[in-house]
Structure 1
Amino acid sequence: MLSISEFSQMCHLSPQALRFYHAEGLLVPAGIDDRTGHSSYAFDQVERAMLITLLRDTGMSVKLVRRALDEPDQAVALLDRHSDEVSRQRQAQADAIAAARAVFEAQPEPRLRHVPATTAVARLVPGTPLGRDAQEWDRAEEIITAAAADLVATVRQAGVTCRGEPWRTLALETPEQDRRVLDGAGPFWTVKVAVDGTPETLPSLPAGLIVQTPGAHDELSIFMPGRNTMAKYCTVVLRLLDAAPVDGDRFVNLARLRQEVRPDGVLSSAPVERRPGSPTEDLER
């Protein structure tokens, strides 16, 4: 019989690790002294210790290691599934590193730009969750992205030429939409795409599509690398507010914030508008 110290040296496992595996039922000592409580191991337990070390070195959980040892005919299949999971985790980490690097390298800052008048086709997006946690937010992103792609396909099938990428905005363009958003009933989002032509020259479009004519305006835009998240959305709002004009009669209308999701990030833009009742607005009227 080998003492825990001797077995530890032989297997290159610390006494703490051996006690942990004992507690988890992975490697139970061959004997325990009733008087001193000291553990002892048999030489033939070295093989099980070796297998445990091999499996744990792969990153397998204790639960999976126990199953692989208890069902040796399933060990290879378990390793294959674990390998797939490790690959997914590594890819997720690589994506996260790339996103973090892009944000720190780009140092995203708002830019003021002029947007000419255009014609756009819009559609409400039903069924999106509120995005109260990461899972809800990701699910909403999937639904909105699919709705934007479907909008573009529908518009093209109607014989209309799309210009640029589609975008999404909060569904806050009418009193009824405002009420349904505030009530939590939704829809919460609208997808849009710019098109060639005017409302008068466009062909008949399927039901549910809305033709809009946004006028020329200035807007603050900021590009945030990586995938869209609630934290990035809030960061965009804060940076647009910080960069807002401070001449007293203009403001950034965040209720009309629009986002264009691109392969490498998200371009967020909000119009710079005159405050209602400002002298400049009265002159423009």
Structure 2
Amino acid sequence: MLSIREFSEMCHLSPQALRFYHAEGLLVPAETDERTGYRRYAFEQVEQAMLITLLRDTGMSVKLVRQALDEPDRATTLLARHSDEVHCQRAAQDEAIQAARSVFEARPEPQESHVPARTVIARLVPGTPVGRDAQEWEEAERIIAETVTELLDTVEKAGATCLGRPWRTLALETPEQDRRALDGEGPFWIVKVAVTAPDEVLAALPAGFLVRNEEAGDELSIFMPGRNTMAKYCTVILRLLNAQPVDGDSFVNVARVRQELRPDGVLSSAPVERRPTGP
């Protein structure tokens, strides 16, 4: 029998790690002195320690390691699944690193631009959660992306031509939309795309697809690298609110922020509008 110190040196596992694996049921000592608590290991347990080390070095959780040890026939399947997850995590980390580098190298600041008058086709996004936490936000992102795909497919089938990328904006364009959004009922988002098409094409769109004529105007825009998150969205809103418009009679209407998703990030734009005058 081997003491915990001897077994630790043989397997290159610290005594703390051995105690942890014992507590988790991964590597139970062959003997434990009930009076002193001293642990002793059998030489045959070196192989079990080696397998645990191999699996843990891959980044597998204790739960997955236990499954692989309890069901060795499934070990390769579990490793394949874990490998896929690691690659996905690494891809997400690489994207996050690139986004962080872009943000710190060139701090995103508002830029002013002019938007011409345009005809847009719009679609309310049904079923999105409010986005109170990361899970809800990701679910909303997925549903919005699906609605954008539906919008573009419908525009193409109708025979209209898209002018640029689609975007989404909060569903606050009518008193009814305002009420439903504030009451937490939704829909909370609208997706849009600028188009050119004959009137008869626009008139023949399926139910639920709206045609809007939007006036020309000025915008302040910020490009935020990487995937869209609630924190980035709030940061953009704050920077737009703090931006100084070209004259004192104008303000940035952040309630009408529109977001254009691009392969490398999100372009968020808000219209610069005149302050209402008194009666």
Please report the TM-score for the alignment, with normalisation by the length of structure 1.
0.90
Q: Structure 1, unaligned stretches of length 5 or more?
A: none
Tell me the equivalent position of 1:66.
66
Kindly provide the amino acid, as one letter, of the partner of residue 115 in structure 1: V
- Alignment match, 2:42: 42
Aligned residues: 279
| Aligned-pair CA distance for 1:80 | 2.0
Question: For the structure 1 residues 44 and 261, does the alpha-carbon distance in structure 2 shift closer, same or farther, using more than 3 Å as the test?
Answer: same
Measured in 2, the distance between the counterparts of 1:79 and 1:197 equals 53
Q: Please give the alpha-carbon distance, in whole angstroms, between the structure 1 residues aligned to 2:65 and 2:88.
A: 20
Offset from partner CA, 1:255-278 (integer Å, 9 cap, x none): 111111111111111111111117
In the alignment, what sits opposite 2:86? Answer: 86
Q: Deviations over 1:183-208 (max 9, x none)?
A: 11111111111122586895533322
C-alpha distance 250-259 of structure 1, shift in aligned 2 (>3 A): same
TM-score (norm 2): 0.91
Is 1:254 the counterpart of 2:254 in the alignment?
A: yes
Whole-angstrom distance in 2 between the partners of 1:119 and 1:46: 72
Q: List runs of 5+ in structure 2 lacking aligned partners.
A: none
AA aligned to 2:75 is: A
> Shift in Å at residue 247 of structure 1?
3.7
| Percent of residue pairs identical | 74
CA separation of 1:145 and 1:21: change in aligned 2, threshold 3 A: closer
Moved more, 134-143 or 57-66: 57-66
C-alpha contact 1:161 1:195 (8 A) present in aligned 2: yes
The CA distance in 2 between the partners of 1:208 and 1:34, in whole Å, is 73
Correspondence 1:210-221 to 2 at 5 A: 210-221=210-221
Q: 1:104 to 1:2 in 2, by over 3 A?
A: same
Distance 1:197 1:25 in 2: 68
CA RMSD of aligned residues (A): 2.2
Question: What are the equivalent positions in structure 2 for 1:193-208 lying under 5 Å apart?
Answer: 193-196=193-196, 202-208=202-208
* Structure 1 match to 2:11: 11
Does 2:140 correspond to 1:126?
no
2:81 maps to amino acid: R
Counterpart residue number, 2:275: 275
Equivalent residues of 2:250, 2:275 under 8 A apart: yes
Retained in 2: the 8 A contact 1:158–1:203?
no
Query: Judging changes above 3 Å, is the alpha-carbon distance between structure 1 residues 31 and 273 closer, same or farther for their aligned structure 2 residues?
Result: same
Deviation string 1:69-114 (CA, Å, 9 cap, x unpaired) is 2222222222222222222222221222122222223321100111
Residue type at the aligned position of 1:271: P
**Distance between the aligned counterparts of 1:214 and 1:138, measured in 2?**
30
Do the aligned partners of residues 147 and 64 (structure 1) sit closer, same or farther apart at CA in structure 2, a change above 3 Å counting? Answer: closer
CA–CA distance in 2 between the matches of 1:204 and 1:71? 60
Rounded Cα–Cα distance in structure 2 between residues aligned with 1:210 and 1:26: 60
Residues 240 and 67 of structure 1, relative CA distance in 2, 3 Å threshold: same
Encode CA deviations 1:33-80: one digit per residue, 9 max, x unaligned.
455432222222222222222222222222222232222222222222
Equivalent pair of 1:131/1:137 in contact (CA under 8 Å) = yes
**Which stretch of structure 1 is more off in the superposition, 47-56 or 165-174?**
47-56
